[in-house]
Every structure is written in structure tokens, then in C-alpha cells.
Structure 1
């Protein structure tokens, strides 16, 4: 009698356990079907009207339409991105907060700050790559240099006599120039600016001799014929600027590349179903001809891939940046 009772109890418990397992397995699928059920907030360290902000608003407009829920852009610029990153880090990991940042925040800053208030890999989950942009070598329109080979010859002839600008110590433009110095065995002088726009004005007037700049940041000065682009630090030429050679084609180091990528991240512990949904929907938007065309006006190229692509990009860039930062002794604290 006791044996039969125990057997029935065991069967009942096993059935309940099976129901729990099946139910739990269905949760991600159920969430994917109903997500998002309320507005999603995108926190960003960029000012309204900046390139990354403009791209996020292009994405947001289309994702809002597709989801039936609004993607709210929450701009929190300043403090090297720490304000926005800290906000996202503290947010509930429920799929309703994403963080838009770039490789400066996730791969470079860990090397230039001894104490960082976040860990790119431990505090955040990668969600979706968004876009990347490579940098041009920008000189004054009347510069005697016509290619990167000319710049390198001048730097070798006058060690410490060539100046280049960037929008701050530890910026991608600063570290990119240090990469060029390392690749060409030259030594040049870095002149940091507080305002990015002043970098290219100073190049045009000859106050500094060159700088790295993107199509979005230096393009207007290029279109006005106040500066010229010697080369693009990329593996291939950029559509829309097909007459500008790569650094390798212009007498510089072969395969030399300096770029920024932008991606979306979420607080660690965010449900996988939400991440997969955002990734898939962002990828579809970026693959559309209309959005590709809009991004091209900034010189940006869609960066489409699974969440793990961002992890690989962080690890790859971190190795590169780490070596250069150590060699050039770049520090922000």
C-alpha cells in the first residue's frame, strides 16, 4: 500500500517537474513573440545631432514602427562616456535598456584609464553591431604633401617636427597617429583639442599639419576644398570617395587601418531572447537599401553580425590599442 502511494507521489512530482521544465523552455520563445511590450530606452554618451545620435534616430524611427513600441533616445554626454555607461550598468537587465557606445569606450579606455568604473565584458552583454567608419589622413588644401609617403618622408627628415591634432588625449585619432608612428618608425608631436571641429580648422589654416578625420567630421571641410585627403586608413576605398586611395596605396604601411565601430550593449543578465530579437531587427533595418543610403551620407558603413561579433571586435581592438598605448605611454589618470 505504501509502495503504491509512494509510486503515485513520485509520478505526480515527475509530471509537475516535466511541466516546469517545458514551461521554462517556452519562456524565451514567449518573450521573443511579445517583446517589446513597452518602450525601449537607448542610453548614449553622444550629444544630440552627432553622427552616432543621427544613426540611432534613423534606427529608432524604423524599430519603433516595426515594434509598435517606441525606442527612446536618452543622450547623456560627458565624462568620457561614464555618465551614460554608468546609467546603463545600473539599469534592470530586462531587455528594456540598451547602451550605444563605440570601440573607444569598450576597447581603448580600459588601457588609458587605470581605474575604470565599468568592465566592458563583465558588466555588459553584446547586443548588435551598428556601423563602422574609417579615418582619412587630412592635410591642408595647400599642403606640399600629395600622399602618405610624402608625410612619412617629412616626419623622418624632421623627428619631432611634424604636428598632428586630435580631439583629445587617448582618442582614437591620437592612438591611430601613434599607430602610424610605430608602423613607420617616426616621431611626431600630438596637439590635443577640446573641440573636434577646431581640429580640422587648424589643419586648414596650417596651425597643425595633419589629423585623422572621418567623412562625417572632416567631410564638410573637404567638400569646401579647405583640406585634402591623402588617404583612407582602411583595407579598401570608401564609396563616395573612390578617388582617395588607401594608406597602403598612397605610400604608407600596407594594411594600415584606423576605424571606429559603434554597437549596442545591454546590462549583464539581459534575457537572451530580448538580445536576439534586437539583434535580428537591427540587422534587418541596417540591411535595407534606404538605411544604407542614409548611412553613406555620413561615410558610415553598416556593421551587421551576431552579438558575438562585438565580443571579437573588443578583444581584437583591445590587443591593438593596448600595445600602442603602452608603447606611446598614453594615460588619462
Structure 2
């Protein structure tokens, strides 16, 4: 009978652990929660995160604090979150480029984002427009591609390895052209320079470029998506504008937890964030930004990230892009 005793003890321990996890999920959160983000205060993702944090705080009856840690290609925020205890009280907001492109851009670091973090909840996906100066001679994508085939053309983005940079790499590949990348540190300066014609074009989102657009200095000649959007119904799709029909440039933003957070707590966070994202006030704010609310499962976030990683890996290799 002696061998049975360790088995009984093991089962008891397992049941106790499961019960404790369930109890901790039921009690979660019992103290303030921190949402770390690599995005600067005032940016589109930051604005969304602050709305989400406010709604979560009311739902949880706890303070939910946004901690902006911009810079370092996202690693300042990532490293801060990696140092946190895996208890569900520190969440990390990342976009698909932080998740899927960083491993290819910083090869010597041997850092694979999803080996250190678990996706827990999706927030939104954003489309990208092709922005040119309002007085640009380019009226559509056919004009842009033709110009790139006959003369050197440059374009701007908000950094090496950004969605704007990698999206332009996709355009080059599909259109059979080569263009010069001009990375900017400040997004506001990027679109000011596009509006003045100092840099011919750039990918843009509504929140990042709306100031220059509303001032009448920017024009969108296409949306890099298969369908037009209600916020900009007069802007044609990439195919309608004469560009590569298969070019779809978008970025999705999610919340992640450090590896090791109990599954029951991750499930609680996922369910509560989904509830918050469905709130009409947040949906209305998403509409102003042309952000598409997402209700992906953690498994779907993983699948989407892996699909992006394959595309980005090939683009990084082909363009010999590195941040090291």
C-alpha cells in the first residue's frame, strides 16, 4: 500500500493547486494593475489603452495604470515587463511588429517575443493609407509606381522595421521597384515633411497624420487594404488606385502577459478585455481612428503573429534590414 500514499499526496497537491488558481482568478485583481506600453503618450495606441484602462478599472474596482516606456525599438517596455512577476498584475501592450518583426531585426539578441510573453487579449487592427502632399503630381498608385520605375523615389516611415517601412518593402517587391527609405524619429516631423514635399510619400494612419491632413497639406491616394473604409469612403483601395491588388498593410495591437501567469487569470483578463472592447464608448473612439476592434482568442493572436513573422522574415532578409 505504500506506493499509493505518494500518489494520493500528489493528487491532493494538484487539487489544492487547481483550487488555489481558481480562487486567485475569482479574486483577481486584488491590487492595482499596470499596463506597460512602448507607445508614446498621445499616440493612437496610447489613447485606446487609456480608455481600456479606465473601463477595466471600473470593472475590476481597482486602479489600472498606464506606464509609457517608448524608445529602444520597443525593448524598453519589453524589458520592463519581463522583470515583472508573472501574476497578471503587469500587462504589456505590443503591436504586431513588436511581436513578429523584432526577432528578425535583432538576430544577435536571440529574442523571440512569444517565447517570453503569452498573448492574452486583442485590442484592434489599423489600416494604412498612402499619404502624399496635397499638391503632389501623383494622383494614384499608378503614378507613384511609374515614377519609382523611371526615377529614384524616397519614402518616409516612423522607423526601421516599422509597419510603414516593411509595408513599403512589400510594395517594392510586388511592384518590382526600389525606393530609398528615410526613417524618422518623430512621427509629427514625418508627416510635416510629407506635407511639404520634402519626402514624397509615406504610409499613414488616421490618428498619426490627421493634424497635417486636416490642415490641408496631405492627401491619401489609396488605402492598402482590400476594401474602402467608412471613415474615408472616397479613398480608393490599392487595387482601385492602380497598385498591387494583393498589398494589404495593417498592424494589430494586443495585450500580453509574462510567461507563467496562471491560465485561469489569463482567461479572466481575456474575457474582461473583450467585454470592455465591446463598450459603445470605446467602439465610437475606434471609429474616429479607423481602428477595427478585434475579438481574437489568444490562439488566434498567436496564429496571426506567426503569419506576420513569415512575411516579415522574408522582407527583412530580402532587404538586408537590421537594427543591430
TM bin (shorter chain): over 0.9
Using the size of structure 1 for normalisation, the TM-score is: 0.92
Q: Is the 8 A contact 2:101 2:313 kept in 1?
A: yes
| Segments of 4+ moved more than 6 angstroms | 9-15
For residues 5-154 of structure 1, the aligned pairs below 5 Å read 19-116=12-109, 118-154=111-147
Cα shift at 1:152: 1.0
Call closer, same or farther: CA 1:31–1:223 in 2, change over 3 Å: same
> RMSD of the TM alignment (CA)?
1.9
Q: Is the 8 A contact 2:35 2:67 kept in 1?
A: yes
Answer whether contact 1:82 1:117 (CA < 8 A) is retained: no
Residues 150, 72 of structure 1: alpha-carbon distance in 2 compared, 3 angstrom cutoff = same
1:58-86: per-residue Cα shift (whole Å, max 9, x none)?
00111000011111111112211211111
Name the residue aligned to 2:294: 303
Q: CA 1:139–1:17 in structure 2 vs 1: closer, same or farther (change >3 Å)?
A: closer
Contact 2:43 2:207 in 1 (8 A): no
1:164 is paired with a residue whose SS is: strand
| Mapping for residues 143-292 of structure 1, pairs under 5 Å | 143-158=136-151, 161-292=152-283
Q: 3-state SS of the aligned residue for 1:125? A: strand
Deviation at 1:205, TM superposition (A): 1.2
Q: TM-score, normalised by structure 2?
A: 0.94
Partner Cα separation in structure 1 for residue 218 and residue 240 of structure 2: 20
Output the CA distance in 2 between the equivalents of 1:14 and 1:113. Answer: 47
Q: Distance in 2 between matches of 1:316 and 1:232?
A: 21
CA 1:11–1:152 in 2, change beyond 3 Å: closer, same or farther? closer
Residue of 310, 321, 324 corresponding to 1:330: 321
Structure 1 residue 143: deviation in Å?
1.2
Distance 2:5 2:203 in 1: 69
TM-aligned CA deviation for residue 148 of structure 1 = 0.9
Report deviation, 1:39: 1.0
Q: Name the CA distance, whole Å, in 1 between partners of 2:83 and 2:141.
A: 45
For residues 155 and 6 of structure 2, the distance between their equivalents in structure 1, rounded to whole angstroms, comes to: 72
The 3 A distance-change label for structure 1 pair 19 and 112 is closer
In the comparison of the two structures, how many residue pairs are matched?
Answer: 324
Tell me, in whole angstroms, the C-alpha distance in 2 between the residues paired with 1:117 and 1:300: 32
In 2, the alpha carbon distance for the partners of 1:263 and 1:326 equals 26
With over 3 angstroms needed to count, the CA separation of the structure-2 counterparts of 1:143 and 1:66, relative to structure 1, is same
How far did residue 25 of structure 1 move?
A: 3.3
CA distance in 2, matches of 1:36, 1:139: 47
